[in-house]
């Protein structure tokens, strides 16, 4: 089954590239990621368990549904309003640049206060400890001043503002460069590999969309990515004499989610659902559904912080398939693959080579990492409100919208209507 699956994935990859004509297209990325992963898994001596036929079947369901949906959505003729087609107003970008620079500085300081409070010997380990406790729903160990809390809320949007100015506007002013440096420092201070992944792949996607891609650029990018991932790993590591085992790191973060999910598929004794079917996928909506009169509790461990599987390495991440399969079984995989393909196909339709619209390019770049790391976990639905906030900010940042223009347009329509009635 492994050879058949890899062969079908190669066919889908060639088909996707032939239709989309870009290595960044969502169907191309998805099929490339799973092809490479399964090739590595079946050729490298990694010491992990053998994957079952059920896992390969799920991969084909996902990639097949995603590919069909993405390619279909890419080719739909959509009418995009003129107000959404150009870059944001220059004045807005300049004003928000100052806001983001200040927010990043305060956020870095806030992260330092948190880390130093929990672990004065290793600030980054303390920051990581705090983020895990927050995911667990525990109370914060330190209350930050209100102005720092506000800055931490604004800082995640810095990649949109600074990325737009630096890559899409090609603005190389001193303040923009400083903002980009602060953005990198802020991400490292979050002591979270996912944050590093988000930033590096977002900037890479923006650069390629604007400048194109060459083999040398890919090598440079991969080198930078490895360095930053190692920095994020080493800075939060406990002080000891253990050496860094690159093969072990590769196995844990790149390959082990596959046999972890395979164990879910083949172990009927594992109890996943605690409250209702949908408690993983729609976790973000539970508090609001309860306000409407529902009595939902949800899963006690929605991020799988305490749900470990041995592959034989201990793992608590289960690929993008986990939430959809745990909630709705095989049909959940099919529906989710179509929804994911449509979402990214729509963004690529507006931001790819056909329309080349900055707003869609930024949205695609911001979520590009979720395509690359779909072998790791689901990031769109599981962090739904973060996704919604990012899309909302991008929409209002790029859309040229004014009430005065609408009022004036309505006045012209009213006058024209009166003139016609008088005739």
CB of 162 closer than 8 Å to CB of 329: no
Q: Is 191 left (phi over 0), alpha (psi -120 to 50) or beta?
A: left
pLDDT for residue 403: 44
What does the pLDDT read at residue 406? 42
- Contact between 264 and 60 (Cβ < 8 Å): no
Q: Please, are residues 28 and 13 in contact by the beta-carbon 8 Å criterion?
A: yes
Contact present, 324 and 134 (Cβ < 8 Å):
no
- The parts of the chain modelled with pLDDT lower than 50 are 239-242, 403-417, 419-423
Q: How far is CA 413 from the centre of its chain?
A: 43
Reply yes or no: is the peptide bond before residue 17 cis, omega within 30 of 0. no
First-to-last C-alpha distance (Å) of the chain: 76
Q: How far is CA 386 from CA 254, 322, 383, 391, in A?
A: 24, 20, 6, 9
176 DSSP assignment? H
Residues 6+ apart with CB under 8 A from 294: none
Q: What is the dihedral of CA 194, 384, 82, 171, to 10 degrees?
A: -20
d(CA 22, CA 17): 6
Other C-beta atoms lying within 10 Å of the C-beta of residue 376: 20
Return the closest-CA partner of residue 232 out of 275, 188, 297: 188
3-class SS of residue 383: coil
């Amino acid at each position: 089954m492994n050879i058949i699956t890899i062969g079908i994935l190669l066919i889908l990859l060639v088909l996707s590239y032939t239709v989309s004509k870009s290595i960044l297209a969502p169907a191309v990325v998805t099929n490339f990621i799973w092809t490479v992963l399964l090739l590595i898994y079946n050729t490298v001596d990694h010491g992990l368990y053998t994957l079952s036929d059920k896992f390969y079947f799920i991969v084909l369901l996902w990639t097949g549904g995603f590919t069909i949906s993405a390619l279909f959505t890419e080719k739909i003729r959509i009418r995009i309003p003129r107000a959404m087609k150009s870059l944001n107003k220059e004045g807005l970008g300049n004003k928000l640049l100052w806001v983001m620079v200040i927010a990043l500085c305060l956020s870095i300081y806030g992260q330092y206060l948190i880390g130093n409070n929990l672990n004065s010997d290793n600030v980054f380990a303390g920051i990581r400890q705090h983020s895990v406790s927050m995911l667990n729903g525990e109370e914060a160990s330190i209350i930050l001043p209100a102005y720092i809390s506000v800055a931490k809320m604004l800082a995640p949007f810095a990649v949109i503002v600074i990325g737009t100015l630096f890559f899409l506007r090609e603005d190389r002013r001193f303040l923009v460069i400083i903002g980009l440096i602060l953005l990198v420092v802020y991400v490292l201070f979050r002591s979270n590999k996912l944050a590093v992944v988000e930033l590096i792949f977002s900037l890479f996607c923006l650069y390629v969309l604007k400048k194109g891609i060459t083999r040398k650029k890919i090598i440079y990018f991969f080198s930078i990515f490895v360095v930053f991932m190692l920095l994020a790993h080493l800075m939060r590591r406990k002080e000891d004499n253990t050496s860094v085992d690159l093969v072990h790191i590769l196995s844990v973060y790149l390959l082990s989610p596959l046999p972890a999910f395979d164990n879910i598929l083949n172990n009927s004794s594992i109890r996943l659902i605690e409250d209702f079917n949908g408690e993983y996928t729609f976790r973000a909506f539970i508090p609001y559904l309860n306000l409407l009169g529902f009595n939902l509790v949800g899963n006690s461990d929605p991020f799988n912080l305490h749900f470990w599987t041995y592959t034989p390495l201990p793992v608590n991440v289960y690929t993008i398939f986990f939430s959809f399969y745990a909630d709705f079984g095989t049909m959940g995989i099919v529906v989710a693959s179509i929804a994911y393909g449509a979402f990214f196909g729509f963004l690529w339709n507006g931001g790819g080579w056909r329309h080349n619209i900055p707003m869609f390019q930024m949205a695609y770049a911001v979520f590009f990492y979720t395509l690359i790391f779909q072998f790791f976990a689901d990031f769109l639905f599981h962090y739904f409100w973060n996704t919604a906030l990012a899309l909302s900010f991008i929409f209002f940042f790029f859309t040229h919208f004014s009430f005065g223009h609408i009022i004036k347009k309505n006045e012209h329509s009213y006058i024209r209507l009166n003139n016609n009635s008088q005739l």
